[in-house]
């Protein structure tokens, strides 16, 4: 019969079910048909469930990126405290302004930067911002701070200082370089110099302003090195080696504690020998002692003593009345 399945076909169907790891309900034809319909429906539902998360995953990155951007824009960064009082050990205005400019370039929101500025201000600087009101923009706050605490020097004066200043007597090369860079920064802010010419300007002014002995030692380095940072490293190395040699030369070896006593003893012996050679007779008299003769006698009322010295002089001692036993 054409509708009957062969043995091979039945085995193929059984192998397919086994490979699919399913066991159909084949106790009757109707149950088998119902099982097959339900099984096909389950497969369709599973396919729809699998494809739906895929579409959701594709949309999630854009949603996360948007939320992350919102979180970053709402984050309030921290700035160094600034009060405007130079006597206090707080941040200078130039450094504080640099931090604010960095926040502006990093694309923080207007409200976040304004809030960070208000939190960082203290003392007179905080009062300056307070007078602008709560609705003041970042640009308005910075303009006001610049007019109150910014560097007020004319560009010509800054240029004159840049080309005339030199390394001070008690200043090392690193401190001299930092001071020169600060002058250059003020020149850039005032618009009389540009950062594009920083390397050539720094290299020339830095080396020509050094101490003369450093110039003499590092002249060949200046002629060979074209980058300012490379020249600065070599100068610092030369300066360090010079200081090390100077410190070693100034080391004083402590004298032994026995040397002063031995020296004094030797001086004393020399003085004694010199005295003996210079005054031999006086030294003999010192060791011989005085030569004296004593003479005594009794008078009618007492005893009298006479002493004759080396120079023929006589010394008479008063007589004393001694009691006599025979008068009792």
**Which of 246, 278, 306 is a domain's end point?**
246
Q: Would you say residue 306 lies in a domain?
A: no
Q: Which of 30-34, 48-52, 268-272 is predicted with the least confidence, judged by mean pLDDT? A: 48-52
Q: Would you say residue 315 lies in a domain?
A: no
Q: What is the mean pLDDT of residues 134-158?
A: 89
Question: Is the domain of 135 the same as that of 167?
Answer: no
Rg (the chain; Cα; Å) = 55
158 close to 187: Cβ distance less than 8 angstroms: yes
- Work out the pLDDT band at 271, boundaries 50, 70, 90: confident
Q: What is the 3-state secondary structure (H, E, C) of 132-181?
A: CCCCCCHHHHHHHHHHHHCCCCCHHHHHHHHHHCCCCCCCCHHHHHHHHH
Q: Measured between alpha carbons, how far is 83 from 61 in angstroms, rounded to an integer?
A: 44
Category of 107 on φ-ψ map: left (φ > 0), alpha (ψ -120 to 50) or beta = left
Domain encompassing residue 134: 93-149
Question: Is the domain of 34 the same as that of 117?
Answer: no
Quick one: pLDDT at residue 287? 55
pLDDT at 4 over 80: no
Question: Is the domain of 55 the same as that of 14?
Answer: yes
pTM reported for the whole predicted model: 0.48
Give the residue from 218, 217, 214 showing the smallest Cα distance to 230.
218
Q: Would you say residue 236 lies in a domain?
A: yes
Quick one: pLDDT at residue 96? 92
Average pLDDT over the chain, rounded to whole? 76
Give the residue from 140, 158, 258, 257 showing the smallest Cα distance to 201.
158
Q: Would you say residue 31 lies in a domain?
A: yes
What percentage of the chain reaches a pLDDT higher than 90? 31
Based on the structure, what is the number of domains in the chain? 3
pLDDT at 44 over 50: yes
pLDDT at 302 over 50: no
Question: Is the domain of 131 the same as that of 114?
Answer: yes
Question: Is the domain of 165 the same as that of 129?
Answer: no
Question: Is the domain of 200 the same as that of 165?
Answer: yes
Q: Measured between alpha carbons, how far is 303 from 326 in angstroms, rounded to an integer?
A: 17
Q: Would you say residue 253 lies in a domain?
A: no
DSSP type of residue 193: S
- Work out the pLDDT band at 220, boundaries 50, 70, 90: very high
Report pLDDT digits (tens) over 66-96: 555 555 556 888 899 999 887 777 888 889 9
Question: Is the domain of 200 the same as that of 230?
Answer: yes
Q: Would you say residue 70 lies in a domain?
A: no
**Which of 191, 214, 246 is a domain's end point?**
246
Q: Which of 17-21, 192-196, 255-259 is predicted with the least confidence, judged by mean pLDDT? A: 255-259
Give the residue from 113, 120, 116, 118 showing the smallest Cα distance to 129.
118
Q: What is the mean pLDDT of residues 311-318?
A: 50
Question: Is the domain of 143 the same as that of 197?
Answer: no
Question: Is the domain of 49 the same as that of 124?
Answer: no
Report pLDDT digits (tens) over 124-134: 999 999 999 98
Q: Would you say residue 283 lies in a domain?
A: no
Question: Is the domain of 176 the same as that of 226?
Answer: yes
**Which of 230, 246, 262 is a domain's end point?**
246
- Work out the pLDDT band at 180, boundaries 50, 70, 90: very high
- Work out the pLDDT band at 272, boundaries 50, 70, 90: confident
Q: Would you say residue 258 lies in a domain?
A: no
Question: Is the domain of 160 the same as that of 231?
Answer: yes
Edge-to-edge order in the sheet of strand 314-316:
293-298, 303-308, 314-316
Question: Is the domain of 170 the same as that of 130?
Answer: no
Q: Measured between alpha carbons, how far is 209 from 161 in angstroms, rounded to an integer?
A: 12
Q: Measured between alpha carbons, how far is 13 from 7 in angstroms, rounded to an integer?
A: 10
For the ranges 77-91, 194-208, 314-328, the one whose mean pLDDT is highest: 194-208
Q: Measured between alpha carbons, how far is 96 from 99 in angstroms, rounded to an integer?
A: 5
């Amino acid at each position: 019969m054409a509708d009957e399945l062969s043995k091979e076909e039945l085995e193929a169907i059984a192998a397919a079910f086994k490979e699919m790891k399913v066991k159909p309900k084949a106790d009757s034809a109707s149950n088998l048909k119902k099982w097959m319909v339900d099984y096909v429906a389950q497969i369709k539902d599973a396919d729809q469930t699998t494809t739906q998360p895929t579409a959701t995953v594709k949309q999630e990155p854009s949603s996360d990126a948007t939320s992350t951007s919102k979180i970053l824009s709402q984050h309030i960064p921290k700035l160094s405290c600034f009060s405007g009082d130079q006597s206090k050990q707080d941040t200078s205005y130039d450094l504080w302004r640099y931090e604010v400019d960095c926040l502006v370039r990093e694309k923080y929101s207007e409200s976040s930067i304004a809030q960070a500025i208000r939190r960082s201000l203290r003392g007179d600087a905080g009062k300056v911002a307070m007078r602008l009101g709560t609705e003041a923009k970042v640009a308005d706050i910075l303009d006001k701070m610049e007019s109150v605490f910014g560097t007020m020097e004319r560009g010509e004066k800054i240029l004159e200082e840049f080309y005339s200043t030199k390394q001070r007597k008690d200043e090392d090369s690193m401190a001299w370089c930092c001071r020169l860079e600060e002058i250059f920064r003020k020149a850039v802010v005032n618009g009389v110099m540009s950062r594009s010419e920083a390397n050539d300007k720094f290299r020339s002014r830095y080396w020509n302003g050094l101490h003369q002995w450093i110039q003499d030692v590092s002249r060949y380095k200046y002629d060979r090195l074209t980058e300012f940072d490379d020249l600065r490293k070599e100068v610092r190395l030369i300066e360090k080696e010079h200081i090390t040699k100077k410190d070693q030369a100034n080391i004083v070896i402590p004298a032994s504690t026995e040397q002063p006593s031995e020296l004094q003893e030797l001086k004393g012996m020399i003085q004694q020998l010199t005295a003996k050679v210079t005054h031999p007779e006086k030294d003999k008299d010192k060791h011989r002692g005085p030569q004296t003769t004593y003479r005594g006698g009794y008078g009618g009322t007492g005893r009298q003593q006479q002493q004759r010295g080396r120079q023929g002089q006589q010394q008479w001692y008063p007589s004393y009345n001694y009691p006599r036993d025979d008068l009792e």
